[in-house]
Amino acid sequence: MAGLGGRMSTVVKAKVSKLLDRAEDPAETLDYSYQKQVEQLQNVKKGIADVVTAKKRLQMQENSLQQSVVKLDTQARQALAAGKEDLARTALERKNVAQTELQSLDTQVAELEDQQQKLTDSEQKLRAKIEAFRTKKEVIKAQYSAAEAQVRISEAATGVGEQMADVGLAMQRAVDKTENMRARADAVQELEAAGTFEDITQLGPGEDDIDRQLKELSSQPAVDDELAKMKSEIGQGAPAPQIAPGEQAPAGEGEKA
Amino acid sequence: MIVRISGEGQYRLSDADGERLNQLENEVVAIVNDGREDDFRAAFQAVLSFVRAHGTELADDALETSEVILPPSDATYDEARHEFTGEGLIPD
């Protein structure tokens, strides 16, 4: 261990050793310790399944956001064609928020995929080590005196334990990450669900609280650009359908659906 | 010596490479202690790359204990900073 002064690894190692110490003496009963390892391997599998579930959840959210984007775009066009620029702007603000969220979801899904891969690799290593431990303990039991066997098994069990601690750490990090993502995704989903117009006529004049929040979240320059672009596509002065009863139609526009 | 990169695996390094690793690692610790957040990522990744490039990965079924355990590659500056002050990656 000459020159082992790297404090970064020493701190991590010391903590892993503490985790291992906290576990029951791994060599106490060989078969019991093996049984424990197998149990923990099951927990690892469960943990991986949780990450996969979290990922699927995010992917479903991506799908529904994609649909919202299309819907809001259509609504903005309809509103603009009806000469209701405010409505169009609101729809585009919401679309902008949904698009930003989509990008962030993409990153999150990629991160979870990475975590899932790491955990799967780690689980495979753990399984291989447990299997090696099983073989080794039988060999050692047969070949060595009780005292010697104890020492050797203890070494082997520490090797398994270290991998176990490693998977445990990876699992904890994955859980923390998915919890953060879930909290954020839930918040945006709530906002987004409340913000998508089921029917454009539902949106009356004035802004409700959700509109204000969405406005804050969206990028106004991007919304301005898109609105201008949409205007030029639709063509100024084109006859517009009246789709929002209760709102005053722009002067000179007839009704057309 | 056996070096583990958390979340990745174990590598066998020669004693000479172990010395070099030690130096690289101390640079990271110095960066964290000086609060040079911008330099952290490159220096930390250099430690990990060094191990991956110079070490031989152990077989999955190897039952050896690591002499050195490095934080996972996605460890952040904040986590590293907390690691040296008590909390961090692994709870006390």
Which ipTM was obtained for this model?
0.85
The minimum CA-CA distance between A204 and chain B, rounded to whole Å, is 47
> Cα B14 to the chain's mean position, in Å?
16
Q: Which residues of A touch B71 (CB under 8 A)?
A: 8, 12
Global confidence as pTM: 0.72
What is the predicted pLDDT for the residue at B47? 94
What is the predicted pLDDT for the residue at A257? 40
Verify whether the Cβ–Cβ distance B64 to A159 is below 8 Å: yes
Q: Which residues of B touch A6 (CB under 8 A)?
A: 21-22, 25-26, 29, 68
Walk across the sheet containing B9-12 and list its strands: B56-57, B9-12, B2-5, B68-70
CA distances from A192 to A60, A184, A238, A257 (A): 14, 12, 31, 28
Among A41, A226, A140, A162, smallest CA distance to B67 is for A162
What is the predicted pLDDT for the residue at B57? 96
Verify whether the Cβ–Cβ distance B22 to A3 is below 8 Å: yes
A252: confidence class by pLDDT, cuts 50, 70, 90 = very low
Q: Which residues of B touch A3 (CB under 8 A)?
A: 18-19, 22
Per the rule left: phi > 0, alpha: psi between -120 and 50, beta: everything else, A2 is beta
pLDDT at B10 > cutoff 90? yes
What is the predicted pLDDT for the residue at A158? 84
pLDDT digits (tens, 9 = 90+) for A187-199: 666 766 665 545 4
What is the predicted pLDDT for the residue at A255? 44
Mean pLDDT confidence for B74-91: 73
- Residue A199's identity, in one-letter code, is D
Query: Whole-angstrom Cα distance, residue A69 to residue A82?
Result: 20
Among A7, A37, A8, smallest CA distance to A20 is for A37
- Most B CBs within 10 Å: which of A10, A12, A22, A134, as the mutation test of the B interface? A12
A31: confidence class by pLDDT, cuts 50, 70, 90 = confident
Query: Whole-angstrom Cα distance, residue A199 to residue A186?
Result: 23
pLDDT digits (tens, 9 = 90+) for B55-70: 999 999 999 989 889 9
pLDDT digits (tens, 9 = 90+) for A127-185: 999 999 999 888 887 888 877 877 788 888 888 888 888 888 888 888 887 777 777 76
pLDDT digits (tens, 9 = 90+) for A202-232: 544 445 565 666 666 677 788 888 888 988 8
- Most B CBs within 10 Å: which of A9, A34, A133, as the mutation test of the B interface? A9
B48: confidence class by pLDDT, cuts 50, 70, 90 = very high
